[in-house]
Amino acid sequence: MTKFSANLGFLFTELDLPQAIHAAKAAGFDAVECHFPYETPPEQMKAALGETGLRMLGLNTWPGNREAGDFGLAALPDRIPEARAEIARAVEYAAAAGVDAVHVMAGRTDSGTAAEDCFRSNLNHACDLAAKHGINVLIEPINTRDVAGYHLSTTDHAERIVDALARPNLKIMFDCYHMQIMQGDLAKNLERLLPKIGHIQIAAVPDRAEPDHGEVDYRWLLAHIAALGYQGIIGAEYHPKDTTTGGLGWMDDLKNDRC
């Protein structure tokens, strides 16, 4: 049976992080993940995880000045000290709270050589820091419809980086929502990339709501992923149409193959 993680960046957002972890447990999720937990002391997150028995699968590096348009820092050649400080903060937080992985956000760039070299250098640095704590580093291709100019937008690009750096703790975060928009052919791309994937996320396409409608048949796709031998938990990273709890029928349907 497929297991699901609640992405607390989008789900249960009316609650603080420890309360959201408890709400995810009560709702039947098997794990949690988050975006930017830094306002919550890591010991509070760790306590909530211990009380619920849930794993926190991942968190993101701080994206920078979002009001100014930042969506990550790691591929910005003129902001290397800031990017590395945020990578260190993310790894230290993850280690203190017991989080499995850190997603290093690339940011918006001109897609040039300098940006790519910067991204790879910062990823090597992140892998060095994370390896000391047994933490994985994730890179996520993000669609350029939602985030224009994002440096990493295809799985081909992500695969080239993973192959070139050859770091055991560097993995791809495959978000089916983003990749359906950018590339489609999700089944074949997942087949090809599975050994390099560290986490899979889902949401409806094109509205990024509950994964029970739209272009992607998740009943079929999740069964296919399981048949490929994927052992991980599937991340639910979507914007609820109304309340989180009011829209969770999709999870029971997918777990019981009724979608």
Instruction: Encode the chain (259 residues) as per-residue pLDDT tens digits.
Output: 899 999 999 999 999 999 999 999 999 999 999 999 999 999 999 999 999 999 999 999 999 999 999 999 999 999 999 999 999 999 999 999 999 999 999 999 999 999 999 999 999 999 999 999 999 999 999 999 999 999 999 999 999 999 999 999 999 999 999 999 999 999 999 999 999 999 999 999 999 999 999 999 999 999 999 999 999 999 999 999 999 999 999 999 998 764 4
Q: Average pLDDT, whole number, for the chain? A: 97
DSSP labels for 192-239?
Answer: HHGGGEEEEEE--TTT---SSSSS--HHHHHHHHHHTT--SPEEE---
Please say if 43 is a catalytic residue: no
Options 86, 116, 210, 237, the catalytic residue: 237
Residues 6+ apart with CB under 8 A from 119: 74, 75, 106, 151, 152, 161
- CATH hierarchy code of domain 4-255: 3.20.20.150
Q: Where are the beta strands (DSSP E) in 61-147?
A: 99-103, 136-139
Taking only the tens place, the pLDDT of each residue in 154-204 is: 999 999 999 999 999 999 999 999 999 999 999 999 999 999 999 999 999
Give the residue carrying structure tokens 């296919």. 224
pLDDT for 258: 44
Catalytic, out of 67, 140, 159, 210 = 140
Instruction: Give 69-89 pLDDT, tens digit per residue.
Output: 999 999 999 999 999 999 999
Q: Domain ranges for the chain, please list them.
A: 4-255
